[in-house]
Copies of this chain bind each other. A is one copy, B any other.
């Protein structure tokens, strides 16, 4: 346990004592030669690398204590919008820890990894059915990686049609996640921003203005990052398709529509999913994730290689894909993450996935109803699985959204996503997920209402928050001004 006065955990290098170790190897059982006889003498290290020298208990205690400084889904509510911090079923961890999955070499003969190939094959099929797409690749390692892959596929498509040179623009709504424009730019596209209208939808008129023969694609998140369903999605699809562009779906918010609606039916040509959000794989404190990409039939030939195919009762890799864009990551993606998603889908089934969407949306709307009188609501609509409040009312009293976020930490609750989407001033993006109970939501409502009250009555309480954590507010500016990025002893 963490005692309140804990003076932080020392960097592990500071715990190091020469000669101590937390590991031992079996004795070398082959005849050994002097290293200098087998390795180039001039390339041998003069000095061993500086690494900590700690006993096994020392290592365990160090990282156990570090873990105790973290908030996590398992320890409390985590309404971080757009991140879908739902419960990660423990059984998924067990399955991913089975030697028969975790101890496979990626290059071992196909006949020795039929179970793994089956998981890949079937998961791709499930994702097709869930999204209404025709084919999937599991290769991308995360959402942003999926975006980049998807844009490559789009470029390959235009290339095949001889339009790559002209279709140089990717349209991105102003509410889009930063990875969307970043991925487009990385893939060599010019990013064209399209504004949102007062309902939080893409401004159709504006869209018509920017669409044209130069349009490679429109990237859309739906529900978008305001938590709102793009009501005009069919019209948007028509506009883009008519101009010869393709529609890209950022699936970060797919939790809202599982079993309810499918991007494939909405007209999207390429999509990615975040298995570490929608499909309950844990986020690992920053990753690993997985960002499978799905496409319509016309784009299937371009998918990364290899693909897993089924011959009668056995599975194999197909590398013979002449139109494939090639590889975007080593091997077959973050396999164990995919395995967790596979396990999750098998456990939930169709009815379970639909219940996920229903309860995610129910929980979000419930919170919205309970909080809308206490904070500004820029888009007063029903929301989907998340919603965005504005802290402008409190800002007027000198309390920034940042202050409120930090104060929330003192309640043992993670802050919402803040200052995103950019189009909402002092934004707070709240996503409860379906795995939280009404009781937890009610505790959150209480905390948020108390914070709203404090913002009026005692702003300094918020400006000084957090006060009940191992550290008080950390100086980010100083960190960036004088980067201290490694321990130097």
Contacts and interface: CB of A to CB of B under 8 A. Distances in A.
Interface in A51-74: 55-58, 60-61, 64-65, 68-74
Interface-central residue, A76, A89, A469, by most chain B CB under 10 Å: A76
A5 B410 contact: yes
Interface in A187-215: none
Interface in A1-16: 1-6, 15
A68 B1 contact: yes
Given A1-B69, A55-B87, 18 more contacts: A1-B71, A1-B72, A1-B412, A2-B2, A2-B75, A2-B412, A3-B410, A3-B411, A3-B468, A4-B468, A6-B412, A20-B437, A56-B90, A57-B437, A60-B90, A61-B74, A61-B75, A65-B76
A112 interface: no
A5 B468 contact: yes
A108 interface: no
B5 A57 contact: no
Interface string A80-96: 00000001011000000
Nearest to A77: B61
A482 interface: no
Contacts of A76: 61, 65
B437 A55 contact: yes
A147 to B, nearest CB: 30
Given A55-B435, A468-B5, A74 B60 contact: yes
A1 B70 contact: yes
Given A20-B437, A410-B5, A412-B6, A64 B55 contact: no
A87 B4 contact: no
Contacts of A89: 56
A321 interface: no
B1 A75 contact: yes
A336 to B, nearest CB: 18
B55 A17 contact: no
Question: How would you classify the secondary structure of chain A's contact residues: helix, strand, loop or mixed?
Answer: loop
A15 B439 CA distance: 8
Given A75-B61, A436-B57, A1 B1 contact: no
Nearest to A15: B439
A417 to B, nearest CB: 20
Size bracket, chain A contacts: 35 or more
Contacts of A409: 3
Contact of A4 (B4, B90, B435): B4
Nearest to A71: B1
Contact of A65 (B2, B75, B411): B75
Q: How many copies of this chain?
A: 2
A92 to B, nearest CB: 12
Contact of A64 (B2, B74, B435, B437): B74
A83 B404 CA distance: 47
Contacts of A57: 73, 87, 435-437
A72 B65 CA distance: 11
Contact of A3 (B60, B437, B439, B469): B469
A66 B379 CA distance: 40
7 contacts: A1-B72, A1-B470, A3-B469, A17-B439, A57-B73, A60-B87, A65-B75
A56 B468 contact: no
Nearest to A469: B3
Nearest to A69: B1
Interface string A24-59: 000000000000000000000000000000011110
A57 B437 CA distance: 9
- For the complex of A and B, 3 pairs with smallest distance between CB atoms: A57-B87, A3-B412, A4-B468
Nearest to A20: B437
A89 to B, nearest CB: 7
A97 to B, nearest CB: 10
B56 A87 contact: yes
Contacts of A1: 2, 68-72, 75, 412, 469-470
Interface string A448-489: 000000000000000000001110000000000000000000
Interface-central residue, A2, A5, A435, by most chain B CB under 10 Å: A2
A444 to B, nearest CB: 14
Nearest to A3: B412
A437 B69 contact: no
